[in-house]
Chains A and B, each alone.
Chain A
């Protein structure tokens, strides 16, 4: 079974284009519009996901999701996460440290497709 990717972003255009890019690479794709929807999927799914997580989202944002990942062992161990953000230069140091300790890499927006593929492939390897 190919690795599964969950795209979490409130911007439909970004979801669409990420979906198409990764689907072309052979990944199985799911989408969520915000953190709450993402957590619902991640807790219920039998799959192990590579999660592309946007930072600024309504309902539950990326920071809140990262905090949940830190608290819930199952979320942490079953899935791998990549933070996708335009704010990569202004992230608070404490948050960057948290990302590092949780082994969550950051993909800055706009991104280069080869970097996206490399990060997703590395994360998918970790799940095996």
Chain B
């Protein structure tokens, strides 16, 4: 665009006196044909970016509709065109994108009038407060206008509204930050899940092993018994007419009975494990319930001890109590289960030649209900304070290496179930132990009110 184009480009209805004046005083005044002006006018007004044309003093002499829209100027607002560059910057509160003020050498118009070409690669990006008070982010390109001698007589700039793009970039940055934070949190959760997954894997491996050991024993003993019985039938068939060796037959029969007894014991072990698994499922679903009824804790304890003595003949299990009875309102099966679990642990985790002592004490209180406290003491190798805190949790168990036999291995669910059962009865559980000093596991139950006790 040459200097000569400027006046002719200026439509007569627009106020652009400076240029008109300048044009009139210019060396050449021959205007391009009317149809070219018209074409340019159409292009100019149909450009969707804002086009600003400045005179040599930096005043805007023309702007297209898109430029007005960019600044939200009313179509008939002519005052904006009268503003000097400084007034315009102040009017629009033009600032850097980060909100800091712009110094005069940084202004777009200053740079253009100094001969700088602002390319799309290095746009001048500003934020402006528009006529309607909204803030817009505008990206400018531009170039100086020169006359034939190369002197700068004005400038043209193109402004593009990048508010939404910038905002979406900001949004993306914020989203990115949030994502980073979220991914950190997710990584932590993944870690936690990984750990609980490992524990679950360990648990499943253990459950598999613990269930299959008795299953293997059961299955193998049944197969062995069947083979022996077939052999006996074969033997008696052959010796039918001869004298059957009754001593040998008795011996064989006893061996088969022993196998069946072992199969039964393996079945009991499995039943116990399956029950523990079911109980833990019930606990986790909040569905473990106690069917409470008046019963005597001392009688329950004696019954469990008798069973344990029967199951482990030769093992010394003593009961110490100064009371005749310990009336409680409780689920007798569940409480027996707890006592049995304590006793089983005590015998498993201590040498076979050491005694296990059960103690039942009753504490009567004048103003409130009394408490029954049952404790089971063993002479095992004891439990570290750290382990004492863990053993009541689900899926924890005492180090299997410290068990005195392979059958001592269990799923580590027992104590968790005990604790839950006692809590259902408003009682407490605990352990007193030190490495090398044996262990005492105890629980308490509230005594039944005197009325039901005497009744």
Contacts and interface: CB of A to CB of B under 8 A. Distances in A.
Interface of A: 10-14, 16-18, 20-21, 24, 56, 58, 86-87, 90, 109-113
A15 B213 CA distance: 11
A109 B123 CA distance: 76
A65 B216 CA distance: 22
Interface size bracket, B side: 20 to 34
Contact of A110 (B205, B220, B228, B401): B220
A59 B19 CA distance: 101
14 contacts: A11-B213, A14-B213, A14-B217, A17-B224, A17-B259, A17-B262, A21-B220, A24-B224, A58-B401, A87-B208, A109-B215, A110-B218, A110-B220, A112-B223
A113 B208 contact: no
Contacts of B215: 109-110
B259 A109 contact: no
Identify whether the interface residues of B are mostly helix, strand, loop, or mixed: helix
Contacts of A18: 220
A12 B406 contact: yes
A32 to B, nearest CB: 13
Interface in B195-234: 205, 208-209, 212-213, 215-221, 223-224, 227-228, 231
A84 to B, nearest CB: 9
A20 B224 contact: yes
B15 interface: no
Given A11-B213, A14-B213, A113 B223 contact: yes
A13 B217 contact: yes
B218 to A, nearest CB: 7
A110 B405 contact: no
Interface string B395-412: 000001100011100000
Given A86-B208, A87-B205, 11 more contacts: A11-B213, A11-B407, A12-B405, A13-B265, A17-B217, A17-B259, A24-B228, A56-B209, A86-B209, A87-B208, A113-B224
